């Protein structure tokens, strides 16, 4: 199989239009299941695997590091990881200083058993001066530890500030991407983040393209025990989306899916994948069968009328559609 590929923003980095996220690895997804998913993903023509030191306390990176020496070739993957964010006990700590970022990167490379990552992302906006944060990105590329650099969870002015700083001097490495939450239940990125990315030649990597799992349709009749919403550790993540409004959105997607002979998550994922400025839609399935269903999205083409109807139901037209 061959999945559609895209370049990220104005760069030469090529990624699959659907990316595989590893947030649940080591928690709700054990190594056997994660290994099976990566193999299926690569067989289907996918290459972008997104991870972070914080996922499973390093477990996700370690597993990818094993797989590129046993199951797949290093060159089969575009490995995207992050730095500057750790979970200490119940606290989330952001540290975007040069020392913290480079320490994180060295740890990632050790766990990933590779000498470079393909895309290295600042996990969140921090208190360190942006010049210092960006200098660490430049250093990583110049030292051969990262091929491309981007940011994650930056709002519009933050990504524009960082991108402008990088472009102000030809010796600095341009930012290629901003990874933000974006789905039919979370369209805020369209207001400032997407236009900022487009203006600066950056692509969006959309995390939680399925609305933190809610757009998979699994919560239509309650919260399944084995879901994130049913887990003590991750229910905080899903709860904000278990609302009457999101139920109405899911029912609208059900109608579209029936009409197009596709499944609910496939429609929700195709909508994100084909939105303006999106380079790749990231999904975090917990099982290989969930992943198989999502990979089937490659054959799904949303007619313009369906796209517009879904836009209307979830907050109105996407103003970038006509200009993209």
Over residues 297-319, the pLDDT tens digits come to 999 999 999 999 999 999 999 99
**319 found inside a domain:** no
For residue 324, pLDDT over 60 is answered with: no
Residue 159 lies in a domain: yes
pLDDT (tens digit per residue) in 93-117: 999 999 999 999 999 999 999 999 9
Q: Domain total for the chain?
A: 1
Share of the chain above pLDDT 90, in %: 85
- Catalytic positions, please? 55
pLDDT at 233 over 70: no
* Model pLDDT, residue 238: 86
SS3 187: coil
Residues 203-224: tens digit of each pLDDT = 999 999 999 999 988 778 777 7
Residue of 53, 37, 72 lying closest to 112 (CA atoms): 53
Q: What is the CATH number of the domain that holds 134?
A: 3.20.20.100
Beta bridge partners of 119: 80, 148
Is the pLDDT confidence value at 153 over 80?
yes
The predicted structure's pLDDT at residue 242: 87
The reply to whether 321 falls in a domain is: no
Residue 301's domain comprises: 5-313
pLDDT at 91: 85
Question: What mean pLDDT comes out for the span 181-187?
Answer: 97
The model's confidence at residue 39, banded by pLDDT at 50, 70 and 90, is very high
Between CA 215 and CA 285 the distance in angstroms is 12
In-domain check, residue 324: no
Give the pTM: 0.95
pLDDT at 234 over 80: no
Provide the mean pLDDT of the chain. Answer: 94
Closest C-alpha among 288, 289, 298 to residue 262: 298
Query: Has residue 322 been placed in a domain?
Result: no
175 lies in a domain?
Answer: yes
Is there a domain that residue 96 lies in?
A: yes
Going through the chain in order, the beta strands assigned E by DSSP cover: 5-7, 14-16, 18-21, 48-50, 78-83, 85-88, 91-94, 117-122, 146-152, 175-181, 203-207, 278-283
If DSSP states are collapsed to H, E and C, what string results for 268-294?
Answer: HHHHHHCCCCEEEEEECCCCHHHHHHH
Query: What's the token pair of residue 18?
Result: 């659907």
Confidence of residue 263 (pLDDT cuts 50, 70, 90): very high
Measured CA to CA, the distance from residue 243 to residue 59 in angstroms comes to 32
Question: What does the pLDDT average to over 132-143?
Answer: 98
Quick check: is 318 in a domain?
no
């Amino acid at each position: 199989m061959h999945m559609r590929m895209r370049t990220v923003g104005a760069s030469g980095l090529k990624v699959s239009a659907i990316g595989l996220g590893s947030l649940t690895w080591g928690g709700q997804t054990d190594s056997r299941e994660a290994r099976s998913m990566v193999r299926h993903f690569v067989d289907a023509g996918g290459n972008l695997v997104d991870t972070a030191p914080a996922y499973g306390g390093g477990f996700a990176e370690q597993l990818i590091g094993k797989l590129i020496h046993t199951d797949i070739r290093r060159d089969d993957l575009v490995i995207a990881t992050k730095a500057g964010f750790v979970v200490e006990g119940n606290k989330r700590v952001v540290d975007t200083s040069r020392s913290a970022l480079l320490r994180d990167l060295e740890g990632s490379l050790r766990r990933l058993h590779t000498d470079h990552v393909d895309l290295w992302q600042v996990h969140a906006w921090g208190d360190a001066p942006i010049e210092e944060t960006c200098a660490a990105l430049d250093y990583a590329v110049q030292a051969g530890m990262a091929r491309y650099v981007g940011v994650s969870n930056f709002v519009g002015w933050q990504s524009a500030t960082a991108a402008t700083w990088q472009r102000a001097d030809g010796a600095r490495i341009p930012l290629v991407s901003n990874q933000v939450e974006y789905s039919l239940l979370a369209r805020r990125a369209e207001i400032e983040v997407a236009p900022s990315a487009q203006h600066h030649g950056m692509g969006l990597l959309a995390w939680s393209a399925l609305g933190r799992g809610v757009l998979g349709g699994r919560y239509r009749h309650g919260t399944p025990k084995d879901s994130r919403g049913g887990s003590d550790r991750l229910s905080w993540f899903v709860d904000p989306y278990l609302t009457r409004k999101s139920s109405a959105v899911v029912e609208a997607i059900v109608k579209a899916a029936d009409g197009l002979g596709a499944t609910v998550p496939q429609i929700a994922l195709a909508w994100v994948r084909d939105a303006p400025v999106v380079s790749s839609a990231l999904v975090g399935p917990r099982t290989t069968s969930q992943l198989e269903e999502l990979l089937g999205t490659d054959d799904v083409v949303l007619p313009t009328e369906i796209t517009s109807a879904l836009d209307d139901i979830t907050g109105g037209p996407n103003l970038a559609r006509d200009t993209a």
